[in-house]
């Protein structure tokens, strides 16, 4: 599968990005390069590779997570003090959903 101008324009429109003709050409080349690499990976023989169900080890000593213990936290009022616009116990943000 090759990526063309139509696909790049479609993705840019979905992401609400304004891109130039030069950027379209650049992105087409980059995306096609990625797809070519994935095609190379698809040619590898993986018949003897055991599928992994998860990337984390079952050994608790190897887990990079901290124990789930209660921690001190900010009160809602204290957290809202730093917000540029707050009200009714929450941060106010600009509307981002179009109708």
Calpha distance 20→5 (Å, rounded): 11
16 — alpha (psi -120 to 50), left (phi > 0) or beta?
A: left
Q: What is the pLDDT of residue 8?
A: 96
Q: What is the pLDDT of residue 24?
A: 96
Q: What is the pLDDT of residue 68?
A: 82
Q: Which helix (H) or strand (E) holds 84?
A: none
- Which token pair is 95? 């509307």
Residue with the larger pLDDT of the pair 99 and 47 = 47
CA 79 to chain CA mean position, Å: 26
Q: What is the largest CA-CA distance in the chain?
A: 58
**Is 0.75 surpassed by the pTM of this model?**
no
pLDDT tier, 96 (very low <50, low <70, confident <90, very high otherwise) = confident
Checking if the pLDDT of 59 tops 90, the result is no
Sequence ranges of the domains in the chain: 5-42
Domain 5-42: CATH architecture, name and number where available = Orthogonal Bundle (1.10)
Burial class (CB in 10 A: 0-12, 13-18, 19+), 80: middle
């Amino acid at each position: 599968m090759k990526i063309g101008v139509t696909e790049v324009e479609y993705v840019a429109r979905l992401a609400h990005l304004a891109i130039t003709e030069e950027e379209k050409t650049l992105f087409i080349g980059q995306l096609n390069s990625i797809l070519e690499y994935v095609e190379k990976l698809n040619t590898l023989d993986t018949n003897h590779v055991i599928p992994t169900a998860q990337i984390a080890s079952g050994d608790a000593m190897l887990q990079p997570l901290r124990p789930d213990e209660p921690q001190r936290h900010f009160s809602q009022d204290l957290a809202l003090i730093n917000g540029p616009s707050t009200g009714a116990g929450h941060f106010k943000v600009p509307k981002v959903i179009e109708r």
